[in-house]
Structures are given as C-alpha cells and as structure tokens.
Chain A
Amino acid sequence: MDKKIEFLKEVIERGMGIYGPEIMENMLKESGIEMDIEGNIIFKTSEPEAMKKFFDKYSSITPVAKMNLQMLAKKHKILLS
C-alpha cells in the first residue's frame, strides 16, 4: 500500500478513538474523503488537497489530535506540509 494511504488510514483509526465516529465521518466528508466498506480510500478532489484539508481539520479541534498526527507522520516518515 502507498505509504501515504497507510498513514492516512492509521490517522483515521486513531481519530475514531479521539473524536468518535460522528465527528470523524463529518471531518472526512467535509475534506472530500470517502472510505468504502472494504476500507479503500476514495478522494473526491485531488489527493493532496483532500489530505491537507483533512489534516488541518484533524489538528484544529484539540492539541492532542495534532500531537498524535505529528507522531504518526514521524512514524510513517511523512512530511506534513
């Protein structure tokens, strides 16, 4: 799997814990990201645009989510813009 997608999936998983399903689903929707039943990621806009939007939202609600995002980025060796 693309390492960026792997990273995104792990961020979403943690987000289910930090935010709960309702907020997470809204956040994904508003960022133009969908996940099908098999867990495949579908981008409604361009991948970088959707990811940026999503990560911005994810980090903006609570600093603990921002910290977690940064740590996962480090783990997956992803550079957050």
Chain B
Amino acid sequence: MTTYNEHEPHLIRGTEDIYWVGFADRKVGFSNNPYLIVDGDEAMLIDPGSRAPEHYRIVHNKVAKVLKGDFEKIKYMMVQHQDPDLCAALPLFEVIVDPDVKIYAQSRSALFLRYYGVNSEVIPIEDGDEFIFKSGRKLTFITTPYVHFAGSHVTYDHKTKSLFSSDIFGAFSINWSLYANEYYLEAFKAFTEPYIGSKKALLKALEKISKFEIKRILPQHGSIIDKDIDKYLEAAKNLDVAQWL
C-alpha cells in the first residue's frame, strides 16, 4: 500500500519524476488528473485541467510545490485532446510558465486551442511522432481517433514505461483512490461505456497501445493502474460501448 495525501502533489510510485497534481471531486464522483514530468531542468505539464478557480487553484498550488515556485521550468505543455477539462487552464498557465513554452496537441485538436485564448506556439503532432527531452528521454504520441475525439491521442513514456491514457481507462467514482482499488474495473466501465461511440475505434486504439510494454496507466480521470494491466486491456476490449444509440 502506498500512502499519499491527496491534498499534496504525489510522486507516482515506481517513478522518480512523474507527479500527480490533480484532485478528486467526491461529491460528483469525478476526478481530474493533470500530471507533471520533471526531467532535469525541464518540465512538461500534461492535460493541465480546468479553469474554474476552485480547480485551477489546486493544480496550480501542487505544481508550485513540486517546482518550488519555479514555473518557468515548464517548457512544454501537452493536451491529449481538445476537451475543456484538460485544456481550459492552458491560458492561465501559459502566462506563468516559460515564455517560450510549446504546447503539443494532435493536429485536429490543435485547431481548437486558440478558442481557449491560447497564444503560445502550438505544435501539431501526428501518429507515432516522438518528443525528446534534452536528457534524451523519449515520449511517443499515439493517436486514438474517435476515442473519444477525432483529435485524441495518448502518450507513452519510454523511461518509465508509463502510458498517459487521457480519457481511456478513466472512471466515475465517489469511492475514489489515487491507485486503482478492487472496484475500479466497474468504475472504469461506468465512465467508458456511455462515452465511447465506436467499438471499432476503441479496438484500434487498444491494438496500438498494446504494442508498448506498459507498467502503469495514468488516466486523466479516475485512478492510476499499475497492477493487472492486462486485465484492464482485456476488459476494455470487451466493453459494450455506444449504448446510447
């Protein structure tokens, strides 16, 4: 068992430099999980989150704690699709991070970022593109079209074998814990089944993801999965999606 204080930033177990800087809204049963990779003197903020003051304040303060106030260490931000729950905070962060910050998004999502009022350089990414930190650490971007947006992607960190899975493997739960508990599979189904509109698209995304050796899944909602990864991949393949049709 890993102990953690959800009101503090949390160094993800098994990693030396990936921090959870999110929060859980237990009333609604919805959590929001931005992550921060600190690689030497460079940092990347992944899926920064909401701009609602009560949400932004939490993420901002957690990032500040990890970076000891040095926001300019953030040279890169990345959003894994165009939804407001991960993009809306971009304009708030872009004015306090490195003035030359680069924002990475799938080309289809990149289009929308200006609509949030983003002014920084946006780098559109395509399937299989790689991002390399100064240290040589490599991230691979994997597009997951229609799961759940045309412009969705997920990201694989080769150093830690972590998959930043965006909305895939997210969950609804008022029984939230930072690491997936024994009921997570059902919480994951509750979130995902009504959310994904195409089984074909989901299977394609899972096929692409499965080519990587995954030690942990870091979803944008719900809990971190670092045990029984295969069980979750298998369950995802068997989901009854598109049930609103």
Please list the residues of chain A having a beta carbon within 8 angstroms of any beta carbon in chain B.
Answer: 13-21, 23, 61-65, 67-68, 71-72, 74-75
A–B Cβ pairs within 8 angstroms, 24 of them? A14-B189, A14-B190, A16-B183, A17-B172, A17-B183, A17-B185, A17-B187, A17-B188, A19-B175, A20-B174, A21-B183, A23-B174, A61-B174, A64-B29, A64-B30, A64-B190, A65-B29, A65-B190, A67-B194, A68-B190, A68-B193, A71-B244, A72-B243, A75-B240
Kindly count the residue-residue contacts between A and B in the assembled complex, taking CB atoms under 8 Å apart.
Answer: 68
Prevailing SS type, chain B contact patch: loop
Q: Nearest chain-A residue to B240 (Cβ)?
A: A75
- Extra contacts, 8 of them, besides A18-B190, A62-B28 (Cβ < 8 A), are A17-B173, A17-B185, A17-B189, A18-B172, A18-B186, A64-B28, A68-B193, A71-B243
CB of A52, distance to nearest CB on chain B (Å): 21
CB pair B175 A20 closer than 8 Å: yes
CB pair B172 A64 closer than 8 Å: yes
Contact residues on B (Cβ < 8 Å of other chain), bracket: 20 to 34
CB of B41, distance to nearest CB on chain A (Å): 40
Please list the residues of chain B having a beta carbon within 8 angstroms of any beta carbon in chain A.
Answer: 27-30, 171-175, 183-191, 193-194, 240, 243-244
Q: Nearest chain-B residue to A20 (Cβ)?
A: B175
Bound: A67/B191 CA distance, A: 10
CB pair B174 A14 closer than 8 Å: no
Prevailing SS type, chain A contact patch: helix
CB pair A62 B244 closer than 8 Å: no
CB of A79, distance to nearest CB on chain B (Å): 15
List chain B residues, Cβ under 8 A from A62. Answer: 27-29, 172, 174
Which of B30, B186, B191, B244 is in CB contact (< 8 Å) with A16?
A: B186
